[in-house]
């Protein structure tokens, strides 16, 4: 019985161990492939950002500062951000009601944030267009808050006006001193 057990253990070691190692090698290859795919996706995102920066600048050179809200002082940057949001709301077919300063996050590294809140009325399709514009165009903006409610006077329309409250922020470049 002891020799039979030894033979069985030996057979398992010689058959199962190579199969286990082959399985581990296959998993490593698959993991390496997914890593390459992820790296390719990130390279494509970086290329799209670079292409956007090139088209904003109107040349083949990339303006790395185009991701920031322009403005040498916080007040100028807030004014630029306000104009960006006003223009984006108008382009999406919305009607601006008001804009106001929003609470700012702390300075981190070489950028400080400028933020504002905007109230406006817009239809559903226009809201989608506005969000795509704000989140994909340059400068890079972050939507911190969005509150949407149906206009009380809209009745039972298929596409009513939406009362919208939006809080958006963008980084302002601070030159090292």
The whole-number pLDDT of residue 61 equals 58
Helix and strand totals (H; E) in the chain? 3, 4
pLDDT at 54: 58
Q: Tens digit of pLDDT for each residue in 88-133?
A: 999 999 999 999 998 775 555 545 889 999 999 999 999 999 999 9
- Rg of the chain in Å (alpha carbons): 28
Residue for token digits 């804009």?
Answer: 99
Residues in the chain: 177
For the chain, the domains span: 1-67, 69-173
Distance from C-alpha of 171 to C-alpha of 112, rounded to nearest angstrom: 6
- Ranges of residues in the chain with a pLDDT under 50 are 110
pLDDT of residue 1: 66
* Residue 58, phi-psi category: left (phi > 0), alpha (psi -120 to 50), beta (remainder): left
pLDDT at 62: 55
| pLDDT for 95 | 95
Q: How far is CA 60 from the centre of its chain?
A: 24
Q: Which CATH superfamily includes the segment(s) 69-173?
A: Ribosomal protein S6/Translation elongation factor EF1B (3.30.70.60)
What SS3 class is residue 162? Answer: strand
Residue 162: what pLDDT? 93
| pLDDT for residue 148 | 95
What are 149's strand-pairing partners? Answer: 163
pLDDT of residue 94: 95
User: pLDDT value at position 37?
Assistant: 81
The whole-number pLDDT of residue 28 equals: 84
pLDDT of residue 81: 95
């Amino acid at each position: 019985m002891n020799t039979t057990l030894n033979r069985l253990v030996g057979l398992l070691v010689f058959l199962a161990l190579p199969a286990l190692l082959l399985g581990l090698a296959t998993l490593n290859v698959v993991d390496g492939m997914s890593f390459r795919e992820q790296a390719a996706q990130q390279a494509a995102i970086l290329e799209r950002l670079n292409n956007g920066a090139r088209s904003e600048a109107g040349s083949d050179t990339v303006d790395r500062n185009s991701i920031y809200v322009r403005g040498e002082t916080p007040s100028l940057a807030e004014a630029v951000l306000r104009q960006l949001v006003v223009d984006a709301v108008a382009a999406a077919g919305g009607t601006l009601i008001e804009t106001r300063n929003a609470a700012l996050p702390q300075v981190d590294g070489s950028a400080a944030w400028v933020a504002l809140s905007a109230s406006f009325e817009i239809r559903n399709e226009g809201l989608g267009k506005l969000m795509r514009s704000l989140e994909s165009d340059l400068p890079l903006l972050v939507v911190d808050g969005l509150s949407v409610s149906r206009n009380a006077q809209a009745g039972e329309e298929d596409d009513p006006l939406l009362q919208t409250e939006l809080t958006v922020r963008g980084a302002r470049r601070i030159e090292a001193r």
